[in-house]
Amino acid sequence: MEDSSLTPRDFASHPEYIYPPYGSSVKRGPTRPLIPLKERLRDQRVPVYGTDDLDPLDADLTRNAVRNGEPLGERIIVTGRVLDEGGRPVRNTLVEIWQANAAGRYVHKADQHDAPLDPNFLGAGRCVTDNEGRYRFLTIKPGAYPWGNHPNAWRPQHIHFSLFGDHFGSRLVTQMYFPGDPLLAFDPIYQGTPEQARERMISKFSLDITQEAYALGYDFDIVLRGPNETPMER
């Protein structure tokens, strides 16, 4: 149920709950009417997850899981602003990311892809936006990986994002892709998003963000609601 105090979601910008080319959506997509939230949850005005336990290294995925050396792969900086439906910065909001390593494998028992795990890379991080709504992560560029959705199916390189605005109804889970990735044309998760909104999920390379002789930089703004909102992951 939508809260009348919030700008309505632009559902034309989001993928359908069930998109047959994306096989698992057929199994998990809702087929019955959605159930309205209880009043107490609908009116929740703060994020459900707190920020009290943040560590200074949480936003640096190249260091937050180091055991015996640096993680392998191309270092990148991913930064951007979290904005509300009016283009205003969303301050002090928790941004969480998770991703595969440079070989295209997640640190998860369900991932049995025949690619090496990196003992120095966990693939997860979090931070809080500043007064301009900006977040910043230092990480490793994730690799593509096979996922069995269709013959010779490979996921494009991507990073998952989860974040809240200042209201329970403004949570967003999405994926960030990289410019020029040839796999985007074959990916049903990306292609399942309405064409006019797909580009909102692609980061922009930035030489200004790039750190000389250390890491390439990518800019990725996230809009929580309204006509320019970032498409949600289904």
Tell me if residue 150 is catalytic: no
Question: What is the amino acid identity at position 234?
Answer: R
Q: Which of 176, 117, 113, 167 is nearest to 145 (CA)?
A: 113
Phi, psi of 179 (to 5 degrees): -65, 140
What was the pLDDT predicted at 169?
A: 64
Residue 33 DSSP code: P
Report if residue 6 sits inside a domain.
no
What was the pLDDT predicted at 1?
A: 36
Mean pLDDT value across residues 203-230: 95
The more confident residue out of 26 and 9 is: 26
Structure tokens of 230?
A: 């970032």
CATH number (domain holding residue 46): 2.60.130.10
Report if residue 232 sits inside a domain.
no
What was the pLDDT predicted at 166?
A: 63
Tell me if residue 155 is catalytic: yes
> Which residues have a Cβ under 8 Å from the Cβ of 129 and sit 6 or more positions away?
81, 82, 89, 90, 91, 92, 93, 95, 135
Residue 42's CB is within 10 A of a number of other CB atoms, namely: 15
Report if residue 161 sits inside a domain.
yes
Catalytic position from the list 14, 105, 106, 177: 106
What was the pLDDT predicted at 159?
A: 98
Please tell me the total count of domains within the chain.
1
Residue 3 pLDDT > 60: no
Tell me if residue 19 is catalytic: no
Tell me if residue 167 is catalytic: no
Residue 17 pLDDT > 80: no
Tell me if residue 113 is catalytic: no
- What's the angle, vertex CA 95, arms to CA 92 and CA 97, rounded to 5? 165
What was the pLDDT predicted at 5?
A: 53
Q: Write out pLDDT tens, residues 88-104.
A: 999 989 999 999 999 99
Report if residue 231 sits inside a domain.
no
Catalytic position from the list 145, 177, 190, 218: 145
Domain containing 53: what range?
Answer: 11-223
The more confident residue out of 107 and 46 is: 107
Report if residue 3 sits inside a domain.
no
Catalytic position from the list 81, 160, 200, 225: 160
Judged by average pLDDT, the poorest of 3-7, 10-14, 33-37, 222-226 is 3-7
Q: Write out pLDDT tens, residues 24-52.
A: 777 777 888 777 666 555 555 555 555 66
Report if residue 153 sits inside a domain.
yes
What was the pLDDT predicted at 4?
A: 46
Mean pLDDT value across residues 155-172: 83
Report if residue 45 sits inside a domain.
yes
Report if residue 159 sits inside a domain.
yes
